[in-house]
Amino acid sequence: MKDKYGRTIEYLRVSVTDRCDLRCRHCMPPEGVPLMAHEDILSYEEIAAVVTEAAKLGVRKIRLTGGEPLVRPQLAVLVKMLKSIPGIEQVVLTTNGVRLAQQLPDLLTAGLSGVNFSLNAMDREAYEAFAGRDRFEAAMAGLHAALDAPGLSVKINCVPTKGREEQVLKIASLARDTRASVRFIELMPIGMGAVLKGIPKIELIDLLQKKYGPFSHDEAGPEGVAPGEYRRPERQRGDAGGCPGDRTPKGPAEYYRFPGFASDIGFISAVSHRFCGDCNRIRLTADGMLKSCLAFPAGEDVKAILRGGAGEEALRESIVRCVQNKPKQHAFGFQKTEEQRSMSQIGG
């Protein structure tokens, strides 16, 4: 499915809930945000109906997100349903990992192929201060369970914010010590992100080099990419990770390898380096709005179509309309078009 700017849309991010068991400072205020009514949230059958029509139109990859997707009961049931839809090649998950250790066996059996693990602190106290909940051990158990799962793609996503440099550097060390790449994702002016300050990439690279030594193409593996050059290793091609922080096959992430590191460190600067020209995705909110861009509130009300009994063709038409209305680019920092809701409500 192509949009009017010629972009191929093959990736659908599905928010399964707006609920979350954490209160990360860059996402939600400590008191939480107004919640959607339970009856407004799409059932698994309704989500599968949307995905079925999207797959007929060319969607191949589904990412489940939220809120925290693992707070929704029996997520593995949904994974299995989606995995069995003709055309759907991959079902992956973005999670804070707090409930992952327990649910991973069922998710793997259901066909989950990848996890993007959101992590913003590596010490218990710092974790609690940032995430608003004392769930550090549970998150670490989730991370290790994912890393130990053969064949499961695992990436660690961190949004670096000022004053938290020490934790950010510790998170970087996971790319040295584990098979997971670590991606630093630029803070977006969404939700609480509008009131925090991110660490600029240039500053972060400086800190990383001071701590871990100069990155070098000698360490970059067989592809031999010059320092700082855009790098797209084969094993990551086609991956679009957490969002913000997604990459398309021709995406904008810059990857670096530090001396002695087992995995890459990536930088994804969606705000300062717009990569909208490569955007391949649309998103479905938990309450059934199909959105063509994270930064714009408008969308197609597919829940009304589903519940009004309008049928599969109307659903497909709505998906096509959404894709056709996909804006050329986001306008963060340029005009006041951004969403006023938090990432947990939109489905980050």
Alpha helices in 96-226 (DSSP H): 100-110, 124-131, 136-147, 165-177, 201-212
Asked if 251 interacts with ligand SAM (CB under 6 A), we say: no
DSSP string computed for 309-332: T--HHHHHHHHHHHHHT--SS--T
Minimum distance of ligand SAM from residue 52's CB (angstroms): 24
- Indicate which of ligand SF4, ligand SAM, none lies near residue 52 (CB less than 5 to 8 Å, by partner kind): none
| Contact partners, residue 222, CB within 8 Å, separation at least 6 | none
- Indicate which of ligand SF4, ligand SAM, none lies near residue 187 (CB less than 5 to 8 Å, by partner kind): ligand SAM
Q: Tokens for 27, please give them.
A: 């996402």
Q: Which of 12, 14, 16, 22 binds ligand SF4 (CB under 6 A)?
A: 22
Asked if 156 interacts with ligand SAM (CB under 6 A), we say: no
Asked if 28 interacts with ligand SF4 (CB under 6 A), we say: yes
Max CA distance (Å), the chain = 60
- Indicate which of ligand SAM, ligand SF4, none lies near residue 153 (CB less than 5 to 8 Å, by partner kind): none
DSSP state of 88: -
3-state secondary structure of 245: coil
- Tell me the window of 4-12, 45-53, 64-72, 232-240 that interacts with ligand SF4 (CB under 6 A): 64-72
Contact between residue 272 and residue 329 where contact means Cβ atoms under 8 Å apart: no
| Amino acid in the structure at residue 28 | M
Number of C-alpha atoms within 13 angstroms, CB side, residue 36? 24
Asked if 175 interacts with ligand SAM (CB under 6 A), we say: no
Asked if 65 interacts with ligand SAM (CB under 6 A), we say: yes
3-state secondary structure of 196: coil
Asked if 96 interacts with ligand SAM (CB under 6 A), we say: yes
Number of C-alpha atoms within 13 angstroms, CB side, residue 318? 25
- Indicate which of ligand SF4, ligand SAM, none lies near residue 185 (CB less than 5 to 8 Å, by partner kind): ligand SAM
Asked if 220 interacts with ligand SAM (CB under 6 A), we say: no
Asked if 118 interacts with ligand SAM (CB under 6 A), we say: yes
- Tell me the window of 88-96, 148-156, 228-236, 316-324 that interacts with ligand SAM (CB under 6 A): 88-96
CB of 190 or CB of 225, closer to ligand SAM: 190
Asked if 153 interacts with ligand SAM (CB under 6 A), we say: no
Tell me how far apart the alpha carbons of residues 51 and 46 are, in angstroms, rounded to a whole number.
Answer: 9
Q: What is the DSSP pairing of strand 90-95 with strand 61-65?
A: parallel
- Tell me the window of 21-29, 41-49, 241-249, 273-281 that interacts with ligand SF4 (CB under 6 A): 21-29
Tell me how far apart the alpha carbons of residues 33 and 94 are, in angstroms, rounded to a whole number.
Answer: 20
Asked if 20 interacts with ligand SF4 (CB under 6 A), we say: yes
Asked if 161 interacts with ligand SF4 (CB under 6 A), we say: no
Phi-psi region of 38 (alpha: psi -120 to 50; beta: other; left: phi over 0): alpha
Q: What binding mask, one character per residue, do residues 86-125 give for ligand SF4 by CB under 6 A, x or -?
A: ----------x---------------------x-------
Q: Tokens for 52, please give them.
A: 């079925």
- Tell me the window of 19-27, 41-49, 70-78, 325-333 that interacts with ligand SF4 (CB under 6 A): 19-27
Can you count the helices (H) and strands (E) in the chain? 10, 11
Asked if 115 interacts with ligand SAM (CB under 6 A), we say: no
Contact between residue 175 and residue 211 where contact means Cβ atoms under 8 Å apart: no
DSSP state of 15: E
Minimum distance of ligand SAM from residue 141's CB (angstroms): 16
Residues that bind ligand SAM (CB under 6 A): 20, 26-27, 65-66, 68, 94-96, 118, 157, 159, 185, 187-188, 190-191, 193, 242, 244, 343-344, 348
